[in-house]
């Protein structure tokens, strides 16, 4: 188990270096390009297999215990250690990350985005995977920061070199926002480590903020919270996200929504809730307010983009929907209750699966039509995917109803539990304020249903003989292979939520109790 976790974190980095080397003659296949793309599928597949093995070997009877630990002294002067481990909070995120990277590598093998060398594309993809997996596995504050920052450069180049229109501006906006947020976050992490004498997350969580003064906790929550909120993204620090998603290649959008956004909310749960509980209690009502505004703002922006004649880009619409969905995650965290935090973690996984699927589908539409503009796609009477490409239309309709929170699918449980948690927030928090946030969030669910149903009506319905005279290919085999696991997991999590909640709940209970089971 110890070796498996270290292998999961390190293997993509080693695979990235290997991707830049010349392919051995016997492995080239039809071309060197094919060889390096196959290398990407192989490495991500091996990492996924290791993550599955880690999950199977995980002691599910004690998910609150940190397992598969590695703890090695690294920088003695600062008491920084190479400390790895997983519990019921990080294991689902680790597994979902490994799955999404494998599906993206598989998709890219058949549909590589236009751009420079495939070697560079695969190498950057694997560096990105290593950084995201490390973020969910490390248990040292400075290592967390390094892993958190490790993903920025690969994602910048994926957008800037393999993206679409306005890719340079979008990539610069992404890197500037996230770097500025990270600088502030580093100050907060150093403040905690230097005042407590350790950067070890497990030790700090067990201490539960007793070694930190109230002022120190306030400053730490403010500094770290800004950095995490940018990555989440929380309104009003979200404006980099729509541009980045619109310009990014399909797999870049899938990974940005499915994995990178989760790093921010994971930091709130892993660092701020257990280590600075008093500071979080002070800022929780404000975090809840920003979350509630984000829910409605994201939905209204999507409604505006979905309206006929507004030239709304489907990728941009799905990006704004992420602002709303991540608002539910932040609202659950702000409640500081086991119910709310479990809901936030469930919504994290559901959003990664469903929005990853949506970006895959929108990318497929853009490949077929040459545009993601909703007015162009819908034409005069509708794009009529049900008639032209029925399986593609069915997948899109499924992803839309899953995203709007249909009961029985994964999107329902996380948002509902987040609202339940906010309905009865932790002791000391203003219940009238949180009841207001619940009402606003509930209204946001109605707006979400409205814009997603409009998208389904305009893209899936209509007269197949009207509109653009263009033959639309239905789902290809490689697309079916890349998308079906996301559909299956969305249904499984919706019908059997105890699979995920059984992992997260004991770990959340222990985290909120200050390291005591």
pLDDT tens-digit profile of 161-190? Answer: 988 878 888 889 889 888 888 889 999 999
Instruction: Report residue 489's pLDDT band, with 50, 70 and 90 as the boundaries.
Output: very high
- Residue 82, H or E segment: strand 80-86
How far lies 372's CA from each of 68, 318, 321, 459, in Å? 44, 11, 16, 11
* pLDDT score recorded for residue 517: 47
Instruction: Report residue 334's pLDDT band, with 50, 70 and 90 as the boundaries.
Output: very high
Q: Is the pLDDT reported for residue 32 higher than 80?
A: no
Q: Is the pLDDT reported for residue 27 higher than 70?
A: no
In tens, the pLDDT along 229-254 reads 998 888 888 888 888 888 889 899 99
d(CA 431, CA 426): 9
Instruction: Report residue 312's pLDDT band, with 50, 70 and 90 as the boundaries.
Output: confident
Instruction: Report residue 515's pLDDT band, with 50, 70 and 90 as the boundaries.
Output: low
* pLDDT score recorded for residue 24: 63
In tens, the pLDDT along 201-221 reads 888 888 877 888 889 999 999
d(CA 71, CA 89): 19
Q: Is the pLDDT reported for residue 469 higher than 80?
A: no
Quick one: which of 353, 355, 347 has its CA closest to 412?
A: 347
User: Do 78 and 140 meet the contact criterion of CB atoms below 8 Å apart?
Assistant: no
* pLDDT score recorded for residue 470: 56
* pLDDT score recorded for residue 514: 67
User: Do 46 and 18 meet the contact criterion of CB atoms below 8 Å apart?
Assistant: no
How far lies 98's CA from each of 352, 385, 401, in Å? 12, 31, 25
DSSP codes joined into one string, 345-400:
HHHHHHHHHHHHHHHHHHHHHHHHHS--BHHHHHTTT---HHHHSHHHHHHHHHHH
Q: Percentage of the chain surpassing pLDDT 70?
A: 95
If you average pLDDT over residues 8-37, what whole number do you get? 78
Instruction: Report residue 465's pLDDT band, with 50, 70 and 90 as the boundaries.
Output: low
d(CA 460, CA 453): 10
Q: Is the pLDDT reported for residue 467 higher than 60?
A: no
Q: Is the pLDDT reported for residue 151 higher than 70?
A: yes
């Amino acid at each position: 188990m110890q070796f498996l976790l270290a292998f999961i974190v390190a293997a993509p980095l080693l695979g990235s270096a290997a991707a830049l080397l010349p392919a051995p003659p016997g492995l080239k296949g039809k071309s060197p390009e094919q060889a390096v793309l196959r290398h990407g599928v192989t490495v991500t597949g091996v990492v996924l297999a290791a993550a599955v093995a880690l999950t199977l070997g995980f002691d599910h009877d004690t998910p609150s215990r940190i397992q598969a630990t590695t703890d090695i002294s690294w920088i003695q002067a600062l008491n920084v250690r190479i400390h790895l481990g997983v519990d019921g909070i990080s294991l689902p995120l680790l597994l979902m990350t490994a799955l999404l990277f494998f599906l993206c590598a598989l998709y890219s093998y058949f549909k590589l985005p236009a751009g420079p060398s495939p070697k560079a594309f695969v190498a950057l993809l694997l560096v990105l995977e290593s950084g995201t997996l490390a973020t969910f596995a490390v248990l040292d504050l400075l290592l967390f920061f390094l892993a958190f920052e490790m993903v920025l450069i690969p994602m910048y180049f994926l957008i800037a070199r393999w993206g679409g229109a306005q890719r340079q501006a979008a990539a610069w906006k992404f890197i500037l926002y996230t770097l500025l947020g990270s600088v502030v976050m580093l100050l907060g992490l150093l403040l905690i480590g230097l005042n407590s004498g350790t950067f070890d997350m497990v030790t700090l969580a067990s201490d539960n903020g007793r070694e930190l003064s109230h002022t120190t906790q306030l400053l730490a929550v403010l500094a770290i919270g800004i950095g995490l909120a940018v990555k989440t993204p929380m309104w009003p620090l979200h404006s980099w996200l729509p541009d980045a998603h619109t310009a990014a290649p399909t797999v870049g959008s899938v990974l940005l929504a499915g994995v990178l956004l989760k790093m921010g909310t994971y930091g709130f749960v892993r660092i701020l809730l257990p280590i600075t509980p008093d500071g979080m209690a002070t800022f929780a009502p404000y975090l809840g307010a920003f979350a509630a505004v984000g829910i409605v703002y994201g939905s209204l922006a999507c409604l505006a983009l979905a309206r006929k004649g507004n030239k709304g880009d489907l990728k941009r619409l799905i990006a704004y929907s992420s602002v709303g969905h991540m608002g539910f995650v932040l609202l659950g965290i702000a409640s500081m209750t086991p119910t709310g935090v479990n809901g936030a973690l469930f919504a994290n996984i559901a959003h990664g699966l469903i929005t990853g699927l949506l970006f895959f589908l929108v990318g497929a539409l853009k490949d077929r039509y040459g545009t993601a503009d909703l007015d162009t796609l819908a034409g005069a009477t509708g794009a009529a995917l049900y008639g032209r490409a029925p399986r593609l239309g069915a997948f899109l309709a499924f992803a839309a109803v899953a995203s709007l929170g249909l009961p029985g699918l994964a999107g329902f449980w996380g948002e509902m539990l987040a609202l339940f948690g906010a309905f009865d927030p932790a002791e000391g928090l203003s219940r009238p304020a949180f009841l207001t946030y619940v009402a606003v969030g509930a209204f946001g669910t109605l707006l979400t249903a409205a814009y997603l149903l409009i998208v389904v009506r305009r893209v899936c319905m209509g007269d197949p003989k009207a509109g653009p005279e263009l033959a639309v290919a239905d789902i290809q085999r490689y697309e079916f292979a890349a998308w079906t696991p996301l559909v299956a997991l969305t249904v499984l999590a919706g019908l059997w939520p105890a699979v995920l909640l059984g992992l997260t709940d004991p770990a959340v209970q222990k985290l909120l109790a200050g390291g005591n089971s």
